[in-house]
Amino acid sequence: MNFLDQFAAETTEVKSDIFTALGIDWRLLILQIVAFLILVFLLGKFVYPWLMKSVDERQDSIEAATKAAAEAQKAAEKNHEKVAALLAEARKEASEIVDTAKLESAEIAAAGEVKAKKAAEQIVSEAHAQIEKDVANVKKELHNETLELVGLATEKIIGVKLSQNTDNDLIAKAVKESK
């Protein structure tokens, strides 16, 4: 029973002073509460504002960096679109230039061909004209030489030299009759 007596005695003490039963010195507890409140006041007065200011500044700088990164991303996308549009325009212009160059080269080739044909035709017509002139000259020379030969032959046959005009008249008359 000794154990029960002791338990009963402790329960009566607990009812009278709970702090003593828990092993807490209430004077020391009050002192610790006051020290804690002073510590909270000092931290709230001096440390927390500075710490919160630093945290706010850090958060503001992070938000600004995030905003700047988003703007840079948007600008990069816009620039990418502009570059793509410029490249498409440059390709279109290059294609037009190539098409124009092909057209112009075909026109130049056709013009050159026409010029060459005209030049060839002119050369051929000049050659024909020259040939006709040469043939006419050769015929004239041949006619003159024929007249001279006929005159010489007539003189040999007749044995008398006639005047140049008489020779020419007789030869011309003979040539006309032979034709």
Neighbours of 138 (CB within 10 A): 10
| Residue 170 burial (10 A CB sphere; 0-12, 13-18, 19+) | middle
128-140 pLDDT, tens digit per residue, is 999 999 999 998 8
What is the domain count for the chain?
A: 1
Cα distance between residue 134 and residue 141, in whole Å: 10
136-170 pLDDT, tens digit per residue, is 999 888 888 877 777 777 777 776 666 777 767 77
91-120 pLDDT, tens digit per residue, is 999 999 999 999 999 999 999 989 999 999
Of 92, 68, 96, 97, which Cα lies nearest the Cα of 84? 92
User: Which residues span the domain enclosing 157?
Assistant: 2-178
26-80 pLDDT, tens digit per residue, is 889 899 999 999 999 999 999 999 999 999 999 999 999 999 999 999 999 989 9
Amino acid, single-letter form, for residue 43: L
